[in-house]
Each structure stands twice: as C-alpha cells, then as structure tokens.
Amino acid sequence: MRITVIGINYLPEPTGIAPYTTGAVDGLAEAGEQLMVITGYPHYPQWRIAEGYQGTTRREVINGTRVLRLRHPVPTDGSVVGRSLMEVGFGLRACWSSWFNAEVVLAITPALLSTAAVVAKARLSRQPVVVWVQDIYTLSAAETGLAAKAAGLIRRVESWTLRHATRVIVIHDRFAAFVSGTLGVDSERIDVVRNWTHLAETGAIATAEVRASHGWAEEETVVLHAGNMGAKQNLESVVRASALAAARGSRVRFVLLGDGHRRNALEAMGGNANLQFIDPLPEAEFAAALASADVLLVNELPGMTEMSVPSKLTSYFNTGLPVLAAVDAGSVTAAEVAAAGGGLRVDPDEPAALLAAAEQLGSDAGLAGRLGAAGLLYRRETLAAPAAIRALRGSLHRATGAGR
C-alpha cells in the first residue's frame, strides 16, 4: 500500500515525536508497505534549525525511505503565535506538495494546524487520511492556563480535524475517551496504539566510564531528566531541589539532558554543584547516559492530568532503572508509572519531596532494583514495537476501505 506520512518531526531529531514517526515508517516499510515522508527541517528540542540544513527544500533517503523536507519558521520564544506560524507554514507547504499518489495519508499531531490543513486537503480530494494523535491540544490549552477564547478556538479546530479524519489513532485509552466524549469523534473510528520503546534493550555498558565522562562520582545518586526543557516540564522545581540538595550537602546530583525554550532561564536561576546541564546526545550516547544514571525523572506542572503521555517513559523503562515521577496523582503519567510498577510518585512542584524521594532511591538498592526490573518487564510485555506496528498498519488498511 502506498502511504504518505506527514509530520513536522523526524530523524535526526533525537527525542519527542520524531523517534516514533521514524520507527513507524521503518516498521511499515519492513512489513512491505511503500512509504514517502513529508517532514520539516530538524529543529527539536533546540528550537532552531540544525546545522547543515540549508535552502527551503531538501530531499533525502533515510533507511531506504524517500523523505521530502520543507523549511518552516521556528519560534524562538515558545509563544502560541510563534508555534502557530510554524505549524501553518509547514502545513501549507505540505499541502502544496505532491502526496505521491498515496492510497492513504498518515498525519501526525502535533502539529495540529498543519494536520488540520492536511485533513482539509484530503477531504477535498476524497483521500483517506489517518490522524495519529501524540498530544491533545485542547487539554494542553486548559492545563497550561491559556486564555479562554484561544482555548475555545483550539478545541474547535482540534474537534473539526479529528472528526473529519477517516480514522484517528491515539496513544492511550484515556486519550480515546476524551477524543470521543469531548471532541465528538465516533468511537468506532478510534484506534489505541501505545507508543513503544524505540531504543534497543540496553546491553553491556561501561557505566563507570560513562559516568566519569560526565563528571558523575561513583558515590553520587544521579537523577537524570531527558528531553525537552519547556513550560510543561516545570523544571524550575528541579533547579530548586538541586539548590536544596547543595545546601544540605546531599549526594544527589540532578542532571538535565536536552534543550528547549526554558533552558536559558533555568541556567540563569543559578548553578550549584548538585545541578548539571548536558546538551542533546546522539542515540548511542543518549542510551548510555540513561543507563548510567541511578534514577530517571519525569517532571510536570501541577494540574497536568490528561494532556500527554511523556514519550521519555518508554526509554526510561528500557534501562531497568527506577523512575521518579513528580506529577499529579490523577495524571496519565502517574497511571502509566503505576501500571508498570516501575517507580515512585511525588507531588509536582515540591522540591523537598522530590529530593527526599531521590535520596530514598539512592540509599535503598533493593527498592531501586525492584522498581527498575518491573519497568523493564513492562517494556518487554507491553511496549514492544512489533505489536504497535501491526496495529498502525491495521488502522491504515481499515482507512483505505472506509475512505474510498
């Protein structure tokens, strides 16, 4: 089947949605489908076009699949206006491009506005289109305190986009309930496909050498947060926890690995010996850094309960290390960590509680080992790629039958 995939994030972006889009394309191609990708210029999580990517259009072949890259604006401040301009710019260019006689189009949101444009074009051309929802904008707008008028507009756009898609793929059962009950999508057109661990299982890694290369002492408890440094990660709380650790002489070191709009502000809050920033790493070095830490951290704003399932969790469970989740008790993230049995939860924006939980995991090897082993088992039994690829493929094939 000829499938054109349209999404703004793709390899070589190391984190976020790109690994899943790339993994889906590779898996579908291995299953015998014919793939073409229309994507943006690499920009995440640094939020600037990667070095070496010049011009306005670029054609590549990645893992045997043809990739058309379209340059677009990249916001420097993370504002709603800046992101909207980026999404609209990419969406218009994607719609003006050839879709290579695809039998079905797979559009990924984020980005919502570009996906809305793709769905509109598909409707006009009577072409089947499947929307793969990684984050729900309506929930994000509500949970991050966006103005009521703007939040209402986002909800209408998102509802229209998903209701007019041939099928909708979501990454969690709670997403499915919201998309159906609140955004008005027929539940029979919704498929749940869990994100999978895109990293290979961690083999033998010289953790002592990796730790030494990053300046981590053997006696330290390294608590590592990987990925985007944006508003919804609320990493200011982690910086405050590191300052508290430094004041107490704690052996906990908080490491923020990645980049994002908030990184400069976080660094400006003031450094201390218990806080470290590391730039994004290539995949092999990234996996080695994760495996060489002691605790892996997911941190969220208070009040975030439904908007997303952090993609970092799939990589975290892959390491066999315990997860520390500073998230609301009723959040999707808390439910996922509980389902895996792979970590501890503390309330968000509570630096003292965060530090205490980190110290507990660092001092209790038995507890840390049990939690890490449970997370790894969950990765093997629930978050394996082959089942997800089969489910994605099934949804795309059902869309061709319904959409013609």
The secondary structure of 1-53 as a DSSP string is -EEEEE-S--TT--STTHHHHHHHHHHHHHTT-EEEEEEE---TTTTSPPTT-
**Is residue 267 situated within a structural domain?**
yes
**Is residue 358 situated within a structural domain?**
yes
- Does the pLDDT at position 403 exceed 90? no
Q: Is residue 69 located within the same domain as residue 154?
A: yes
**Is residue 84 situated within a structural domain?**
yes
Tell me the C-alpha distance between 225 and 100, whole Å: 40
Mean pLDDT value across the chain? 92
Q: Is residue 147 located within the same domain as residue 245?
A: no
Number of structural domains, the chain? 2
Q: Is residue 267 located within the same domain as residue 160?
A: no
Q: Which pLDDT score is estimated for 311? A: 76
The closest of 222, 227, 262 to 245, measured between CA atoms, is 222
CA dist 394 → 231, 388, 398, 399 (Å) = 36, 10, 6, 9
Q: Which pLDDT score is estimated for 128? A: 97
Tens-digit pLDDT profile for residues 212-266: 999 999 999 999 999 889 888 999 999 999 999 999 999 999 999 999 889 999 9
Tell me the C-alpha distance between 323 and 290, whole Å: 11
Q: Which pLDDT score is estimated for 202? A: 63
Q: Is residue 155 located within the same domain as residue 254?
A: no
Tell me the C-alpha distance between 172 and 308, whole Å: 9
Q: Which pLDDT score is estimated for 15? A: 84
**Is residue 201 situated within a structural domain?**
no
Say what percent of the chain tops pLDDT 70. Answer: 95
Tell me the C-alpha distance between 232 and 326, whole Å: 12
Tell me the C-alpha distance between 62 and 176, whole Å: 32
**Is residue 393 situated within a structural domain?**
yes
Q: Which pLDDT score is estimated for 125? A: 93
CB atoms within 10 A of CB 213: 13
Where does the pLDDT of residue 151 fall: very low under 50, low under 70, confident under 90, or very high at 90 and above?
A: confident
Parent domain of 371: 207-379
Where does the pLDDT of residue 201 fall: very low under 50, low under 70, confident under 90, or very high at 90 and above?
A: low
Where does the pLDDT of residue 76 fall: very low under 50, low under 70, confident under 90, or very high at 90 and above?
A: confident
Q: Which pLDDT score is estimated for 399? A: 96
The closest of 316, 215, 326, 226 to 274, measured between CA atoms, is 215
Report the length, in residues, of the chain. Answer: 404
- The gap between the terminal CA atoms of the chain, to the nearest Å, is 14
Q: Is residue 65 located within the same domain as residue 164?
A: yes
Q: Which pLDDT score is estimated for 46? A: 87
CA dist 144 → 150, 174, 178, 313, 347 (Å) = 12, 19, 17, 21, 17
Where does the pLDDT of residue 176 fall: very low under 50, low under 70, confident under 90, or very high at 90 and above?
A: very high
Please, are residues 320 and 373 in contact by the beta-carbon 8 Å criterion? yes
Tell me the C-alpha distance between 129 and 123, whole Å: 8
Q: Is residue 213 located within the same domain as residue 158?
A: no
User: At residue 110, what are phi and psi to the nearest 5 degrees?
Assistant: -60, 145
> Exposed, middle or buried by CB within 10 Å (0-12, 13-18, 19+), for 184?
exposed
Where does the pLDDT of residue 140 fall: very low under 50, low under 70, confident under 90, or very high at 90 and above?
A: confident
> Which contacts (CB < 8 Å, 24+ apart) does range 235-238 have?
235/262, 235/266, 235/299, 236/262, 236/265, 236/266, 236/269, 237/299, 237/326, 237/348, 237/349, 237/350, 237/351, 237/354, 238/275, 238/297, 238/299, 238/326, 238/351, 238/354
Burial 100-115 (b: 16+ CB within 10 A, else e): eebbbbbbbbbbbbbb
**Is residue 202 situated within a structural domain?**
no
DSSP 3-state assignment of 115? helix
Q: Is residue 125 located within the same domain as residue 227?
A: no
Q: Which pLDDT score is estimated for 271? A: 82
User: At residue 92, what are phi and psi to the nearest 5 degrees?
Assistant: -65, -40
Token code pair at residue 354: 């965060």
Q: Which pLDDT score is estimated for 258? A: 92
Which of 13-27, 66-80, 297-311 bottoms out in mean pLDDT, i.e. has the lowest? 297-311
Token code pair at residue 373: 């082993």
- Here the CATH number for the domain that contains residue 349 is 3.40.50.2000
Q: Which pLDDT score is estimated for 147? A: 61
Q: Is residue 240 located within the same domain as residue 254?
A: yes
**Is residue 78 situated within a structural domain?**
yes
**Is residue 53 situated within a structural domain?**
yes
DSSP H stretches of helix in 105-235: 112-124, 137-143, 148-163, 173-181, 207-213
Q: Is residue 226 located within the same domain as residue 344?
A: yes
Q: Which pLDDT score is estimated for 404? A: 42
Tens-digit pLDDT profile for residues 358-386: 999 999 999 999 999 999 999 888 888 89
Q: Is residue 182 located within the same domain as residue 279?
A: no
Say what percent of the chain tops pLDDT 90. Answer: 75
Q: Is residue 192 located within the same domain as residue 60?
A: yes
Q: Is residue 190 located within the same domain as residue 306?
A: no
DSSP 3-state assignment of 191? strand
